[in-house]
Structure 1
Amino acid sequence: MTRMPLPSIKNSIDRVIHAIEGRYTQGLSPASLTLAYLDWLTHTSHSPGKINEMLENTLRKCSAFTLWAARASLDSDAPPFISPLPGDRRFADDAWKRFPYNVMAQSFLLQEQWWHYATTGIPGVAKHHENVVSFAARQWLDMFSPTNYPMTNPLVVEKAVQTGGQSLANGLQNLLDDIQHSLLDEADPDSLPYAAGKNLAMTPGKVVFRNRLIELIQYSPTTDKVAAEPILITPAWIMKYYILDLSEHNSMVRYLVDKGHTVFMISWHNPDARDRDMGMGDYLRRGVMDALRVINAVVPERKVHLVGYCLGGTLATIAAAAMARDNDDRLQSLTLFTAQTDFTEAGELMLFIDESQLSYMEDIMWDKGYLDTQQMAGAFTLLRSYDLLWSRLVSEYLLGESPRMNDLMAWNADSTRMPYKMHSEYLRRLFLNNDLASGRFRVGDRPISLRDIRVPVFCVATQKDHVAPWRSVYKLHDLMNTEVTFALTSGGHNAGIVSEPGHPRRSYQLGVQTAKDKHIPADDWLVRHDSKEGSWWEPWVEWLAKHSSTQVTPPATGNTDAGYPAIGPAPGTYVFER
């Protein structure tokens, strides 16, 4: 029997241990968290001035709070001792103004404020470690919020009294149902109120190409004439494409088709262990470039409007830069939705990205050959724990309300896996090393530069994006030497993009920067451009029309003569892979 070399055995043992560990830590590296905590603890213990300030702060705040609590016990109209942070809606209901709930809520907010003060501003602590410790403290405190317990939440108490305890019984039933679904891994699409092919992803079209990585969908025209240049949309590989083809009223695909565009969509294969060695190069070559090749055969002698969403936008940018480097002029324009190209300020996701964390995650993925959906969902849940975890638990388990569901939530629950090699490469090359913005990202045997891109660019960012903060997306201006039209829209990473005309309370700001314009800082840009009511889809479609050449008869679906016949109806088969 051939024996494995000793270094490989050691490496495999380490990886097995880390993989087993990761199942219980939600993929978080204990070493990374410990390093951050020790950095904070060591510098704090060597900062007597800061410690003294913290003690003084504690005494002063506690004394003032005691006096306030005595007043608040007699006067429900007493102004709050501490105002919640913007966006914190936990104590917005008037029931939290009554004693003793007002004191509970304010006591909790005081604890939050103190721990934020204690975990930030410590001289010598690395910024990344400070962010990790502050984030961890906030997550730990959130567990003990009075909103999360039946006897300390006035809304839960009131509803239980009003319903004679039925709300608590309903909550228990919801909990048991969720436990059953989790243990049995139940996911019957026919039982769900929203599902792809049922009432989502319903825009008519045909799959005209399929390889191991993608299906390419060509949508059926609805107008007599269409823009000569077709649109290729590249969604992120961590999501099912149909966020851009949700219900009929908010489908971007249907909107584009009805506006006279020929639309192609990439639908990514959901990887499994067999795809562990697929890397960024495969996603570029077998994804974007194969799709462009097919479109050039279906719609010959026409350039393409390339559109990318999130990491799909980063991939589209890489493709555009590589094509520009190689004098490949098949693109007419480039549109990016919430896509980062400079990852130096990539938002709270950077909390999970350092050498220790990435090495740990690689070991977890090595075990299976991919990053599974539960680990990804866990990371995003931590980033938005109030919206995605605690508010749901309170609503369904304590108030006994039926689980809420809409089309966007259904899509959000339908996530995909990521291959071991590709996920490791993009985290290291993009997030950790920032190779793309630094001119070190290699396609083939040579690096690419975004300054080579000469086609006009339309870039969309959203105000409340926790995945791709808009100021990070805005850095694109400094990396490109072409005309950039930048739109900043209301909403978050997903809801801000699914922002169809007629959607209430939607607004956007729009600005154009040419290659000759001087740099405008992000905050200056914000005050220079007025906010406009409505959907950013409308100015984008106008922009596409401006950068299209002419109107023509809609092309045929597929091209049988070129070897790309229609394979089957949209939404294809890859979208149903679990």
Structure 2
Amino acid sequence: MKSDDSQPQIIDKILHASMAKITSGLSPSALMAAYADWAVHLASSPGKQSQLIEKAARKFARLAGYLSECSATLGENSPCIEPLPIDKRFSEDSWQKWPFNLLYQSFLLNQQWWSNATTDVRGVTQQHENVMEFATRQILDVFSPSNYLLTNPQLLEQTEKEAGQNLVRGAQNFLDDLQQTIANKKPKAGAKFVVGKQLAITPGKIIYRNHLIELIQYTSTTDEVRSQPILIVPAWIMKYYILDLSPSNSLVKYLTEQGFTVFMVSWKNPDASDRDLGMDDYRNMGVMDAIDAIEKITNNAKIHAMGYCLGGTLLSIAAATMAREGDNRLQSLSLFAAQVDFTEAGELMLFINESQVTFLEDMMWEKGYLDAKQMSGAFQLLRSNDLIWSRIVHDYLMGERAPLNDLMAWNFDTTRMPYKMHSQYLRQLFLNNELSEGQYIVDGKPIYLSDIRVPTFIVGTQKDHVAPWKSVYKFHLESDTDVTFLLTSGGHNAGIVSEPEHPHRTYQIATTKKEATYIDPDSWVATQEEHDGSWWPELAKWLHSHSGKYIPPPTMGNPKKKLSILCDAPGTYVMQD
């Protein structure tokens, strides 16, 4: 609790923190403001109202005509409305049979009408319109016929085939999940993937530790290495080892095999005592202390700096600060699914306005951190069909369990976010977009991304709901250097974990010189050749082209400069719950 909090403020914060436990961190005021903005403007728009009445009549007529045609053809007929390309709920042939075809067609028509009703209402702010469309979609998805036994033909067929045993298994799955949630435990299947045994097992040593990070130096696997080492700064919203999963899909292992010395930051999982750690602390103790340590081990070699997600944003801040101060220790900068401009940050922006940020701050104020469950809940809402409803159907009604893989196990290994850091991140970056607009203050002065002059390698992923690729692409507008941009298939996590043997991966890549004319993202993707395979070899090729001579691998740590080996990788911080 801050000493300068007044009694009225404390009362308000306690109330908001209590409300957040019921609303899963969503601000009721923010939702009510969006609804009021939409409802008032719709009520004063007779033209829009008449248009909606007309659309409702046309959709009813289409459904009636479809019903008539189905009656004449004994149930099966071409649909009158197709699902969106990303909606796979009704793709099975059984949905084309009577009466299930009528159920899902009426659902889609209703969904389409509500999309019309919540959009293009003159006078409604863009964010309120987005919130209304999103919230309405979430409510409608609850009533999708695919979610219920009696209205889902696949579930009925499976239940008849197994004489109801699928429901018995599903009930057991539900009880297991309920017990794990109450006990705050990881899934039982997670025992197959243990950090240090099956996950994060690339050999290495912890050669530096401070209050916030452990620095891993990985064992070289080649007789010679490039003289410039690699530093990877992962996001601290999850554990670092998404970039060092199993040996078959570890980016760290791949890079060591390509002849690079690799270092990785492993973040501490903060608790209530870390509530006052801010963005400057993460930059100084996370990035700068790691660079200082690597410099001592590699005899002042320049560094290939890489950042993933939130770690990439932090690394951009650090790189811009270093450029302002004349610190030239970076050889290159690579950002994976990381944003520096947050004006198009996808549906996450639905949760970012003054009301919502204040509500989150009050929720974090009580504990000193943002709980991982609250973050994961927001991400699940963004893809509710895939992450909530399809799982309910699959696990509890079909009675099946998808086998846990290493990436899923990592996804369950959640972390917390300190109160001060997360508040600064939301306000300065998401809400005010200070980094992109040259208003982000470090040590009393603004920093500018255009000061970064080292070559950059930027990766976006096609299906990213956290850092949409067009938002990632905006680095072109901020930079004053050569930018190699690569767009890969997959999402925020799976698109980055893209080992060379991974099937069905594609990518596009092009380098834009700093003096070149800007190309918008749609034009860029339309004109670049699509390649099959993983993007990792392209990264290695680019790194080699910006690296110097080969040298013998450096020693592990440097005891002469107080960098002794502290323990084996993956270290102790990654083990913290």
What is the TM-score with the length of structure 2 in the denominator?
A: 0.98
Which residue number corresponds to residue 186 of structure 1?
185
Cα shift at 1:195: 2.5
Cα displacement string for residues 73-118 of structure 1 (whole angstroms, at most 9, x for unaligned residues): 4345411111001110000111111111111111111111010000
Distance 1:5 1:468, change over 3 A: closer
Which of the residues 62, 65, 69 maps onto 1:64?
62
Report the counterpart of residue 318 of structure 1 in structure 2. Answer: 317
In the alignment, does 2:223 pair up with 1:218? no
Kindly indicate whether the alpha-carbon contact (under 8 Å) linking 1:189 and 1:195 is maintained by their aligned counterparts in 2.
no
Matching of residue 515 in structure 1 with residue 514 in structure 2: yes
Distance 1:359 1:439, change over 3 A: same
Match of 1:271 in 2: 270
Shift of 1:497: 0.5
The more displaced of 194-203 and 240-249 is 194-203
For residues 174 and 183 of structure 1, what CA distance do their matches in structure 2 show? 14
Q: 2:456, 2:176 → 1: CA distance?
A: 48
Partner amino acid, structure 2, of 1:125 = V
Structure 1 regions of 5+ residues with no counterpart?
Answer: none
In the other structure, the counterpart of 2:297 is: 298
1:370 Cα deviation after fit: 0.1
Counterpart residue number, 1:430: 429
**Which whole-Å CA distance do the structure 1 matches of 2:534 and 2:199 have between them?**
21
Q: Structure 1 CA distance, aligned partners of 2:79 and 2:415?
A: 44
Distance 1:546 1:435, change over 3 A: same
CA distance in 2, matches of 1:5, 1:311: 30
- Report if the CA contact (8 A) 2:190-2:404 is conserved: no
| 1:228 and 2:227 aligned | yes
Pairing of 1:454-469 with structure 2 (within 5 A): 454-469=453-468
**Alpha-carbon separation, structure 1, partners of 2:116 and 2:436:** 34
Distance in 2 (CA, whole Å) between partners of 1:428 and 1:401 is 42
Match of 1:374 in 2: 373
- Report how far residue 542 of structure 1 moved: 0.5
Residues 108-507 of structure 1 mapped to structure 2, 5 A cutoff: 108-187=107-186, 192-507=191-506
Q: How far has the Cα of 1:186 moved from its partner?
A: 2.7
Distance 1:450 1:98, change over 3 A: same
Q: Distance in 2 between matches of 1:301 and 1:317?
A: 21
- Alpha carbons 1:40, 1:125 under 8 Å: kept: yes
| Aligned mates of 1:471, 1:511 — CA distance in 2 | 15
CA separation in 2, counterparts of 1:369 and 1:378?
Answer: 19
Secondary structure of the residue aligned to 1:307 is strand
Runs (4+) of structure 1 exceeding 4 A deviation are: 4-7, 188-191
Offset, 1:187: 3.6
**Cα distance 1:7–1:575, how it changes in 2: closer, same or farther (>3 A)?**
closer
Residues 186 and 412, structure 2, Cα contact 8 Å, conserved in 1: no
Residue equivalent to 1:95: 94
Question: Which piece of structure 1 moves more, 133-142 or 69-78?
Answer: 69-78
Report the equivalent of 1:8. 6
Does structure 2 retain, via aligned residues, the 8 Å contact 1:72–1:102? no
2:12 corresponds to 1:21: no
Query: Distance in 2 between the 1:188 and 1:45 partners?
Result: 49
Q: Deviations over 1:399-458 (max 9, x none)?
A: 000243111111111111000000000110000000001001111111110111110000
Structure 1 partner of 2:534: 535
For 2:462 and 2:186, locate their aligned partners in 1 and report how far apart those are by CA, in whole Å: 34
Residue 193 of structure 1, CA deviation: 2.0
Q: How much does 1:6 deviate?
A: 11
Q: Deviations over 1:21-66 (max 9, x none)?
A: 0001010000000000000000000000000010011111101211
Residue aligned with 2:333, SS: strand
Q: Distance in 1 between matches of 2:256 and 2:560?
A: 25
Secondary structure, aligned partner of 2:435: helix
- Asked if 1:39 corresponds to 2:20, the answer is no
CA–CA separation in structure 2 for the residues paired with 1:7 and 1:160? 58
Deviates more, 1:125-134 or 1:100-109: 100-109
Change (3 A) 1:119 1:219: same
- CA–CA distance in structure 2, aligned partners of residues 378 and 242 of structure 1: 22
Deviations 1:116-165 (A, max 9, x none): 00000000000000000000000000111111111111111111111111
Q: 1:7 to 1:320 in 2, by over 3 A?
A: closer
Matching residue of 1:54 = 52
SS in 2 for 1:85: coil
- The 2-side partners of 1:315 and 1:189 are apart by 35
Deviation at 1:507, TM superposition (A): 0.7
Amino acid at match of 1:395: H
The CA distance in 1 between the partners of 2:258 and 2:22, in whole Å, is 50
**By how many angstroms is 1:202 displaced?**
0.8
- The CA distance in 1 between the partners of 2:378 and 2:43, in whole Å, is 31
**3-state SS of the aligned residue for 2:208?**
strand
> How far apart are the structure 2 equivalents of 1:569 and 1:399?
43
Q: Tell me which amino acid in the other structure corresponds to 2:458.
A: C
Alpha carbons of 1:82 and 1:11: their partners in 2 closer, same or farther (altered >3 Å)?
same
What residue identity is the alignment partner of 2:44? H
Alignment check: 8 A CA contact 1:232 1:306 kept: yes
> Where does residue 568 of structure 1 map in the other structure?
567
Structure 2's unaligned 5+ residue stretches are none
Measure, in 2, the Cα distance between the counterparts of 1:474 and 1:5: 43
Question: Is the partner of 2:133 in helix, strand or coil?
Answer: helix
Q: Deviations over 1:489-510 (max 9, x none)?
A: 1111111111111211111111
Match for residue 546 of structure 1?
A: 545
Q: Is the 8 A contact 2:190 2:409 kept in 1?
A: no
- Following the alignment from structure 1 to structure 2, what is the Cα–Cα distance between the partners of residues 102 and 552? 67
Q: What SS class does the counterpart of residue 209 from structure 1 fall into? A: strand
1-structure distance, mates of 2:446, 2:387: 40
